Structure 1
Amino acid sequence: MARLTKQSPERGSARIRLLEAARDIVRAKGFAATTVDDLCKAADVTKGAFFHHFGSKDALGVAAAEFWAQTTSAFFRAAPYHAPADPLERVLAYVAFRKAIIAGDFAQFTCLVGTMAQEVHASAPQIRDACGRSIFGHAATLEADIEAARRERGIDAEWSAASLARHTQTVIQGGFVLAKAGNDPQLACESLDHLDLYIRHLFHIAQGAPE
């Protein structure tokens, strides 16, 4: 993910500062390695303030996933990939946009909820479910354009708009894992290049050909 900022007037509140700290530190260190002390120091709040807003670190994890969903939803709604008139062009523009925002260090472009879901899926089901709502909710925003592209191009296949929308997130999240494993952000970019090719194949469009 690109750098995200909170535009709300609440930005100065201790709760928002703690959520922003979780967003940044967990992406850099992972959930288990992030301590309450880390969060309080980054947010410039006391432990008393932390436990006033969150009953536990796990409660903070759930809230952080929900905060991520809220702020990223606004970020993607304002993104330029919605501009093309053709729905397939919008889908491909989405893939191009996801590639374009792979910049900076890993903590700046990787996904908070993807990071947490991998780490806590068995140990913290409430955090896992909150992460799932964020990931699947974002995937669902692509379904209408994919379905419209299917109709306009007469695509009659067994795969659904929902399944392709989920697959885009599989590739993106997997690309982040490979980028981390190889210490090379270009591995994530490579995955998105292949996703572009795959979508073009599904819609019978050659690379570089007019949509």
Structure 2
Amino acid sequence: MSGDGAGPMIRALLADDEDLIRAGLAALLGLEPDIEVVAEAFDGRGALTAARAHRPDVAVIDLQMPALNGMEVCAELARVLPGCKAVILTGHGRPPHLHRALTAGAKGFLPKGAPGGTLAEVIRRVHGGGRYVDPALAADALTAPECPLTPRELDVLRLAELATPVSEVSRRTNLSIGSVRNHLSAAVSKLKVANRAEAFRTARDNGWL
């Protein structure tokens, strides 16, 4: 099938847990003569199932979704459907998100607030073998502070969230309660905050989690 006689249609998958956003994107892309939305999904597992079934050329994936997040979907798509190019959409982009998305195999990364025609152009670019990173986010990435926490401290802090009992974090990480407390204390000290709740919020807001 061809949109305007110039070439084959670009088959796109949309994955976003917000129905209105997903419907809006589908409507915008539906106006493009060379892009066809062949499948939609509201969570990460659904995105992978739809990708296997429809084999799209480009998957547009929300960063934050239930079941599997956008990074996890990107990584799995790169493994099971390497011909599908992934584009990450986010309303909360941070420089570390950008780095992790590119590492996971994403070919495009842009905010949900981008101008209406930008997504279509990004889809065309990545389908043609190129990449796209939102310029403002790329600029931020050059000056973003490095995360001072170790991978293990981040793991513990991610599980601890705001009020998860230390015993539960210990069980889920297979670390002793004393080790969990030490890692949380180190995170609080390195981030120069008062407690683990503030440490979690600081790490989350900087995109380190």
TM range (shorter): under 0.3
Scaled by the length of structure 1, the TM-score of the pair is 0.24
* TM-score with structure 2 setting the length: 0.24
Higher helix share: 1
Q: Higher strand share goes to which structure?
A: 2
Greater gyration radius? 2
